[in-house]
Structure 1
């Protein structure tokens, strides 16, 4: 059980996310010089725990008196961000989370701050609406988690966790995130709703995630996700929780087809009743599943930078991201960053990559924004209002 919970680090998103901050900054400069910012965006696939500012992590750790291998926030980036010179591997990426999650775990003030700053960062990126996701168990305290952290850090002579701190439950974490979002939305004007993540390695926790989503549905929690190492545990083991979520009208998205087979996407839709798929690149490898996704109108949440730089696309022997093919085929899809803090990138840069590297047109970009709005988990009236705001920015939706 301990080993399984430790592997929660083995991604709070399906697998292979890693990136190169220097390349990201270069892309940012191109964005500034080539075209004006693409305003009025919607982001559906972004992990809150992958969106933390290094400056905040350093400040929180310093205030908690935690020993760090860095003397300032700039130096801390070596450990909590991915860089061009780093090994491009899943292990290196996971090392980042393995390092910084214990710095904030069990600190509700820090969790609330991170949620607030997420709103600030989304506003700076001209994002009108987003649905950040997180697993509350990753930020709570528990006997299992503490044992894992102690094994990971104290054995190396680093006292990262205060053994006397009060217990913080997953419910406490969701409450803190909601508070941070509420204040952030009021101060910035962005709209945020949250998604709670089940973890592939822990199907025994999935029903609790559904219960939390139901408990906090009036506080902005609009859905659940399944994240983690794709294929490590059969999706069927999460079926009871996702069926219960459907009974409660809790929306559902599932990480599938990122490095796994196309059948995973089909299973996510048919067995877990997924309304959206995180990544889903494997569909290009299977004509039947691809046609099924198009027929169902299932929304595919694409993240160009993470999939390209971590080698996820090599699984399917394709040179270019499938997002352009999806756009040409009028597949219901959109762009997101995935983990902007670890990757040190923005959604604006994701659009630049789509334009410069994958050949996306402005019409493709606008259509994807409207796709995201139509496929978001807002109630119908709020969704209509969001679509009206997008029309004010972009005009009528492309055909």
Structure 2
């Protein structure tokens, strides 16, 4: 249960607090055991071995945070959120060097005019598309489309962001975000911007969005530290799927997600995305690489304490950069979640990916290798050394 804490009890915000202010301390701890059939280093196609390891933050990322609001009158409130992710297996920060790596923003909200926030936060693309992403019931670690190629999981958070989200207008919500790179001499370099719309009508929901992420390094190459969508100066979500294209000048995504609830027990969601890696003069590849992904998830709730889901996705790259047999990835997922209480649950996850075709290795153009399997985004840094990978995990999660 989330605990509301009176601001007068918090010395750091006690001074100047108003009677209609509130601060909430909340968190999640998620830990389990996982098995992976083959693990090797990123970019390698040899030396893979099976592994059993402790996993954390799989069903929902382990975190703690503070969020609050102050009533300014006239229906307007000031809001803020500070959220830190951590590794529950060893106590380390999720992202070294970032005190509030998940979110850190402040803003204002009004039920008639919408919400405007500034800081480190999710893009409009993710926020409005995510309710129907595969991660809702399959998790990001096991169920995100291979490597989270389309940014439908939480790996992509943007620094220096200004985000506006409209109120719900007859079922329609629109949102736009812009992240300032702050690179001298260029307003565009390092920036991230996105726009999205979501429509809800009873059991039906659909969302569409666009997102562009610009490298702050002129002409591409190593992902620059001023790039707004990055963690500690490194490009996020590099995996065996996009490893050969990580020196891009820009990444661009267009996606559509949606869902339909047949009954209180059955619902289905779907997603389609088109992802483009655009080269610059310093990139290690010379042709634009495009990945198309389609997927669906069927969710079943036979009793109030049990959730079951099954998912499938297919990702295919274009033939470019000397590749004549384009890479493709088929992923199959199952998930089971049992609620012990409103705050605590047990989960089990199973996933299998089969890769085919060819892709670029770490060195880029001219270094063509066989595509290797990647499951979700929990194994991005430790992909399979072969075309197949199986992974399974069990864990416990509790919220406060």
**Normalization by structure 1: what TM-score?**
0.28
**Normalization by structure 2: what TM-score?**
0.28
Higher-helix-fraction structure: 1
Whichever of the two has the greater Rg, that structure is: 2
Greater relative contact order: 1 or 2 (C-alpha under 8 angstroms, separation 6 or more)? 1
